[in-house]
Amino acid sequence: MSGRVVREPRSLLVTGGAGFVGSAFVRYLLGQADFRGTLVNLDLLTYAGNLENVAAVADDPRYKFVRGDIADGELVGRLVREHEVDTIVHFAAESHVDRSIVAPSAFIETNVVGTFRLLEVARAAKSVHFHHVSTDEVFGSLGPTGAFREDTPYRPNSPYSASKAASDHLVRAYAHTYALPITLSNCSNNYGPYQFPEKLIPLMIMNLVEDKPLPIYGDGLNVRDWLYVDDHAEAVWRIVRSGRAGETYNVGGEGERTNLEIVRLLIDCVAAETGKARSALESLVTFVRDRPGHDRRYAIDFSKIQQELAWSPRRDLASGLRETVRFYLDHRGWLERVRTGAYRDWLRENYEQR
């Protein structure tokens, strides 16, 4: 790293901190003994938000949870003033590509309008640093070679990625026009604990455990670059503290695999952990109709964050997947509550009645 610490945030507003990546960031930051600031977690608790994901930090005196919509400018403005927020780290989003194909409206509302409202609050507050968490999907789809760089032209292909691209453009525009201090990160596919089981890896683990078909879209040869979610959390914190204002950083996992390779690795892990026969698990592989407009390949050139901020992924894919499989095996109750919606009862009992 350059050695210089540019920012020392004292009061963070984290949006979407009850979701998969946001909750990993909240747990990561509050796990840093030398973090002496405070963190307000603003989350609407949509189907993807779950306070169980942040139960470990619920009683930390540095932490406060607020249920609310990022598009509620009045609420966000009040939180920024009351907590003297100096840094917004913005994870909240509608995040699932398949849902965006079926019902794009919420993606525009939250990802575009919601981000716009947050930016307006940050602009009015004057001295707030805004970190925007985005995705590699804004760059579109790659052929068999090459990797996305920070200067790769945007070419989003799904309503999800188009909505994230729109939000990225707004963030850039606010930096350019209003001199809002911003940083931006575009990350590849995350995996790890507490991911909603609509996404490839937790869905496949759940189905393997329950001996259900493993639905592989198309020919299964689409490539994604997989990053362990805690590594993403660390990258975001490093950018927030030491990233150059106005800059974008690509974050990737050096974990390029076809979907079929990922499923086979998961089969190996589940077979090893449960004693189930590998051949029986392999027979669950089922090729299904492809996702419309399915991007073929993503790959990330993350040399900028590596060189400027000395960040690289810590976890290799094999050990990360093993740990992830163990997590879901050890948290069958979590999986069940999320799948059936029963986690909302947990929410009522543990949060809303307080």
CA–CA distance, 10 with 157 (Å, rounded to integer): 38
Beta strand 38-43 with 63-67: parallel, antiparallel or unpaired?
parallel
Residue 209's binding partner among ligand DAU, ligand NAD, none (Cβ under 5 to 8 angstroms by kind) is: none
User: Which residues are CB-neighbours of 211 under 8 A, at least 6 positions away?
Assistant: 276, 280, 284
CA–CA distance, 239 with 114 (Å, rounded to integer): 22
Which of 111, 163, 188, 242 is the binder for ligand DAU (CB under 6 A)? 188
Q: Tell me, what DSSP letter sits at residue 291?
A: P
Both tokens of 344, joined, read 């909302």
* DSSP secondary structure, 53-119, as one string: GGGGGTT-TTEEEEE--TT-HHHHHHHHHHTT--EEEE------HHHHHH--HHHIIIIIIIHHHHH
Q: Quick one: which H or E segment has residue 351?
A: none
Residue 90's DSSP bridge partners are 15, 132
Choosing from 28, 63, 160, 228, the catalytic residue is 160
- The verdict on whether 160 is a catalytic residue reads yes
**Shortest distance, position 351 Cβ to ligand NAD, whole Å:** 13
- The verdict on whether 43 is a catalytic residue reads no
Between 60 and 98, whose beta carbon lies closer to ligand DAU? 98
CA–CA distance, 202 with 335 (Å, rounded to integer): 9
Residue 170's binding partner among ligand NAD, ligand DAU, none (Cβ under 5 to 8 angstroms by kind) is: none
Which of 38, 53, 95, 110 is the binder for ligand DAU (CB under 6 A)? 95
Choosing from 52, 69, 86, 136, the catalytic residue is 136
Which of 199, 241, 297, 337 is the binder for ligand DAU (CB under 6 A)? 199
Which of 73, 77, 197, 215 is the binder for ligand DAU (CB under 6 A)? 215
CA–CA distance, 73 with 70 (Å, rounded to integer): 7
Q: Looking at 33-41, 92-100, 175-183, 248-256, which segment touches ligand DAU (CB under 6 A)? A: 92-100
**Shortest distance, position 282 Cβ to ligand NAD, whole Å:** 26
**Shortest distance, position 163 Cβ to ligand NAD, whole Å:** 9
Between 117 and 224, whose beta carbon lies closer to ligand DAU? 224
Q: Nearest Cα to 298, choosing from 190, 185, 191, 142?
A: 142
Tell me the Ramachandran region of residue 175: left when phi exceeds 0, alpha when psi lies from -120 to 50, beta otherwise: alpha
- The verdict on whether 191 is a catalytic residue reads no
User: Which residues are CB-neighbours of 11 under 8 A, at least 6 positions away?
Assistant: 37, 38, 40, 83, 84, 85, 86, 87
Q: Tell me, what DSSP letter sits at residue 10?
A: S
Q: Nearest Cα to 90, choosing from 25, 7, 161, 28?
A: 25
Between 255 and 281, whose beta carbon lies closer to ligand NAD? 255
* List of residues contacting ligand NAD (CB under 6 A): 15-16, 18-22, 43-46, 48-49, 69-71, 91-93, 95, 110, 114, 133, 135, 164, 187, 189-190, 196
Query: Is 327 near ligand DAU (CB under 6 A)?
Result: no
**Residue 294 φ/ψ, nearest 5 degrees:** -55, 115
Using CB under 6 A as the binding criterion, the count of chain residues that bind ligand DAU stands at 19
Residue 48's binding partner among ligand NAD, ligand DAU, none (Cβ under 5 to 8 angstroms by kind) is: ligand NAD
Query: Is 137 near ligand DAU (CB under 6 A)?
Result: yes
Query: Is 250 near ligand DAU (CB under 6 A)?
Result: no
Which of 58, 203, 245, 285 is the binder for ligand DAU (CB under 6 A)? 203
∠ at Cα 92 (89, 96), nearest 5°?
135
Between 11 and 15, whose beta carbon lies closer to ligand NAD? 15
Query: Is 217 near ligand DAU (CB under 6 A)?
Result: yes
Between 76 and 93, whose beta carbon lies closer to ligand DAU? 93
**Exposed e or buried b per residue across 132-160, where buried means at least 16 C-beta atoms within 10 angstroms of its C-beta:** bbbbbbbbbbbeeeebbebebeeebbbbb
Residue 71's binding partner among ligand DAU, ligand NAD, none (Cβ under 5 to 8 angstroms by kind) is: ligand NAD
Binding site for ligand DAU (CB under 6 A): 95-97, 135-137, 188-189, 199-200, 203, 215-217, 222, 224, 259, 291, 298
Enzyme catalytic residues = 136-137, 160
